[in-house]
Structures are given as structure tokens and as C-alpha cells.
Structure 1
């Protein structure tokens, strides 16, 4: 199996603009499909502890893709982006540029360690925030509630509430706990002293699949799907230099 990137047509927008899907593969069989609609992750096929692949992304979840916050006019995740494939000796990638005056540049890279990196910046909106929303079910299908979530954060802002400490509450995910125990949507304020440790880990005990998120984001939004067949995750990164890595493994 070789490093590869392929392109296929994915229809058109309501305005008639073309859409494409780019498929990135590494030598270990990991496959990532990226859509030019909003720069979203359309598929991520990752191996379990026995090497069996499954798509762990729920691409139909609402609002997936890259966001610039506050949104200037029409939201970027609902617009087609321009794409340029990238091929190196040990990685394949895709550079995406958003339409409009903001010119958000987002570069995805899939490496040989089953890591998918995203580096993004918006020179014209350096004081804003960039985010990537994606929805995951590490089993590939079925109820995601029994999957274990760890978030390296001592404080949280629940939806519709004020900032609070997680200690002694159902929001405390500093040790892995079943995702179904979370009371609802929230924004976790990531510990600034986490160093090179993962900001978030999501694992499926049955398959052994593990997702780790490394990022320079200051916070991450989390919420359950409806029905709970996935959990959506949205790191909030500085628009001047947003960095994110999704690393898939198995235990």
C-alpha cells in the first residue's frame, strides 16, 4: 500500500459551483476523505486492535467543517473551498483556501503515524477564532454512549451557564468516563500547562480504537448527537496560527 491522494466529483452547490472529495491514504491503510465543502472531514477509516478498518466520522452531523468565529457573513463551512493536493515522501495533504476576503488557509496532512494534522490561519482576521467541528463514533456504528472520554480541563462552561470547576460534577472528564454521563453540550477550558499531552482522548473499549486530539486551542466544545450515535468535537484555535492533530490508534 502506498501513500496516495485522489480526487472525485461530489456534485455542485445550489449556485452551480463544483464540489470535490479528496481521499488521502497512508501505507498503514488509514484513509481520510476531505470535502471542499467547508473543508470538512467526510470520512476517517481507522484500524481497530485487530487491524479492521471502520469509518469513525459521522459526516452527516450538522455544522461540520471549518468555522471562522465570529462568522463574517455566510458561514465558511457552508461554502466551497479551493483545494491543492500536496505530496511529500512521508505524507500526503491538501491545502484549502476559503472564498471571500478572509482568505482562511487550511492545510491537512496525513502522516505515516496515523496522524491527521490541520494547520490553519486567517491573516485578515488574526484576532478571531478558527475551529474545526467533526463528529466521531470510534466503533464506527451504533450507540456511542459507552465510549470513554477524557478531557484535560479543570473548568467548563456548560451551554447556557457560567464557567465552573469540573471537580465533583458530572462534567469532570479528567479521568476517562463514559461519554453518555456528560449532562449535555459544553465548552471545556483546556489546561494551559498540558504540555505535549493530548487535550482529549475518545476510545471504544470493544474495538480498541482510540482518538487523541493535540492542539494549541484554548478550549474545546463537546456535545452528543441526536440520536447519540456520535459525539461532536470542536477545538477553538487562534486564527493567527491554529494547530490541531487527530491521532488514531488502538489499545
Structure 2
């Protein structure tokens, strides 16, 4: 099956490029506080795309998906269907509020969770240690360790702190929210670009690249049906 990249755009200049290879976000142009656009997605980061967990013999992020464009009055979108007998359906929607929403659903016979891996540098270039991260989570599972409270540790991002302070990779056990307030905020003070993330999932994996040119995010949602929303804005 041939591979394609579909571009979704809104009237504010935001453009999202979705690859049919694994349903990955291949690029995302968002404006800064002065309206200047930059690509804030690190498309070359490894293993980006939609994953089914666990995935015995089905590395979906490495397979071509079938795509169907969607068009509504106030939004544009793309529906992707994975290959194979037990298809995963993923739908991206970009609206005029500069929100990109992904809804995923797998058949009942599939594994328990789905995640989207994407890599962001909301400055558009350079390294990310000076960007400020805030995560609504009182518990964390650092890579190779057990769950622990974040209080009094370098993992505590309940108040914004520089990515340079992040000790490594971890899975944050998100506080149960109202589905409206963001579970994660990422701010680039220099450009003013702001990424806010909401999800109906219970956890989020994250870490910085090597070298630290991006922050990778893996929101994890239930395979029975889950949604992730990325909202982009700019602070003065």
C-alpha cells in the first residue's frame, strides 16, 4: 500500500500533517505570540505513531493505514484504519480553536490500551531544556522503578518547571480531572507558544530526546475508546 501525508489546516494558519505510516503526526505548524509559524513536531523522532499495547506481531506504527478525509462546517479531519482483520480506527479532527483531537478505538478482541507517540519542540528549533512543563499528577512510575509520590522529588511537575530538571523517562499517573482542564501544559517562554494536553486516559509517558531537541509524549487511552486533545496557543 502506498504511503501518503495528509495536511489539515484552519483559518488561523495552523497546519497538521498526518502520515498514513502508523498514523503519525509528521508535522505541525503553529503560530507564536507574533503570529510567526514554525513546525513544532520532531517528525524524525523514533517510533512515532499509534501503538497497540501489547502488540504481539502488530507494530501498527510501522504499517501503512487506510485514510479517509473528513470535512465538517467548523473542522477538518482524517479517519485512519489499520491493516489486518482486527482493525484499529483512529480519527484526527482539527478545529478553528486550534485543537487537534485524536479518538482511537480497537475491537473488543484487541489489547487493553492504545497510545500515540509524538515528539514536540514548541520553540520550533534548538533544544528544549528551557521549556516549562506542568503535569497534573501526584504519582509517577520512573523508567525501571515502581510507582511513587512525586512530592519532594525532581519528578514533581505539578507546578511548572524547566525540562532540564526532568530526571529521565517516566509514566505519570494522571490525576482524575474534569476532562476540560489540561493534564499537561508545555510553554516555550521565548516564543510564547503553549501546548495544552487533555485526555480521558489514566496515564502519560514522556521523556526528552538525546540530544534534547524534543519532548516525546505518549498518552495512553483505553482500547475500547479513548480521546486525546492537543490545544495550541500563544502567551503574550
Gaps of 5+ in 1: 1-16
RMSD: 1.0
Contact map agreement 2:54 2:111 (CA 8 A) in 1: no
Q: Deviation string for 1:39-72 (max 9, x for gaps)?
A: 0000000000000000000010011000000013
Q: TM-score, normalised by structure 2?
A: 0.97
d(CA) in 2 for partners of 1:230, 1:125: 35
Deviation at 1:125, TM superposition (A): 3.7
SS of equivalent residue, structure 2 residue 103: strand
Matched residues, number? 235
Deviation at 1:242, TM superposition (A): 1.1
SS of equivalent residue, structure 2 residue 164: helix
d(CA) in 1 for partners of 2:56, 2:83: 12
2:138 corresponds to 1:138:
no
d(CA) in 2 for partners of 1:117, 1:56: 16
Contact map agreement 1:132 1:234 (CA 8 A) in 2: yes
Contact map agreement 1:127 1:240 (CA 8 A) in 2: no
- CA gap of 1:161–1:98, structure 2 versus 1, over 3 A, is same
Which residue of 156, 159, 167 corresponds with 2:140?
156
Determine the structure 2 residue equivalent to 1:82.
66
Determine the structure 1 residue equivalent to 2:207.
223
2:106 corresponds to 1:122:
yes
Which residue of 187, 190, 194 corresponds with 1:203?
187
